[in-house]
Amino acid sequence: MIVVTTPTGDIGGQVLAGLLDRGAPVRVIARDPSRVPDGVDVVAGSHGNPDVVAKAFAGADAVFWLAPPNFAATNVVESYVDFSRAAATLAAHGGQRVVAVSALGRGTPMAARAGMVSASLAMDALFADAGVAYRSLALPSFMDNVKRQVVPIREHGVYREPFPATHSAPTVATRDVAATAVGLLLDSSWNGVGDVPLLGPADVTFEERAEVLSEVLGKPVRFERTPDDAHRAVLVSRGASPAVADAIMDMVRAKREGGLDFGVTRTPASATPTTFRQWCEEVLRPLVSP
């Protein structure tokens, strides 16, 4: 039995679909069971609730773990660690192998001052210290984050981020993350603790992304750098607490100026297949031009 958290989310939903396609026995934890496909074993509730986790983990062999960000948090690191504490304890006692969504940055100088990334790395340490067989999917930014900008891209031909146009960085498609997670969840041969970096096929600058958007969408799309204070203000206007907004901006600065995404060298094992162009053609274009 494999337990999947966030089964109605972007990554969790793709993990669930991949496991079902492979005929694997699956149990999910979901706040809204009505959104889960028929025939799937569901434990209703939050995977931050110890009683819910205990029920879901009973008899399970492996767990896909994704700690959702708490946008009302007053301390981001404590929020991630506290949410995951019961799962780490129960997995250690139950012998489950855990595959978790985390971030690049471990071992870099900025790891302790990278906001949301620091929180993810603290969560990794919690599971490792508990003695869980654990694989951390060490991720850069997602290609799929561009979906948040469908409206400005469609209506104004503008793609905005708080980075210089020439900043080059790895970026990964969530479908490649999910495919890797599925493979690990179905593989019972591994143990111990380790990172699994997933870096996409190549680093891409933000102006190159705008060029690809223009070519794929058949309309001009220009890149604009958003000032940090304006980006933070948007986060707060969308419901982020001041602590969460600060943590996101700390992450941005660590990526932008601190080399957070470059502590790992891309290898054939860490180079995922989906290019930014392919992702734009297959995922973004239908959203911008339905």
In tens, the pLDDT along 230-267 reads 999 999 999 999 999 999 999 999 999 999 999 999 99
* 190-195-196-197 Cα dihedral, nearest 10 degrees: -170
The residue behind tokens 């990794």 is 124
pLDDT at 289: 87
- Name the residue type at position 94: G
Tell me the chain's radius of gyration from C-alpha atoms: 19
The residue behind tokens 């855990």 is 98
pLDDT at residue 290 tops 80: no
* 125-130-136-138 Cα dihedral, nearest 10 degrees: 0
CA angle 62, 111, 274 (to 5 degrees): 55
Which tokens sit at 136? 């951390």
Reported for 124-131, long-range contacts at CB under 8 A and 24+ positions apart, including other chains, are: 124/100, 126/81, 126/84, 126/85, 126/88, 127/65, 127/84, 127/87, 127/88, 127/91, 127/98, 127/100, 127/193, 128/193, 129/88, 130/88, 130/89, 130/91, 130/92, 131/92
Average pLDDT, the chain: 96
What is the distance, to the nearest Å, from the Cα of residue 275 to the centroid of all Cα atoms in its chain? Answer: 17
Band the pLDDT of 39: cuts 50, 70, 90.
Answer: confident
From 96, 67, 60, select the one nearest 84 (Cα to Cα): 67
Domains of the chain: 2-288 (3.40.50.720)
pLDDT at 137: 98
Q: What is the pTM of this model?
A: 0.95
Q: What counts of helices (H) and strands (E) characterise the chain? A: 11, 13
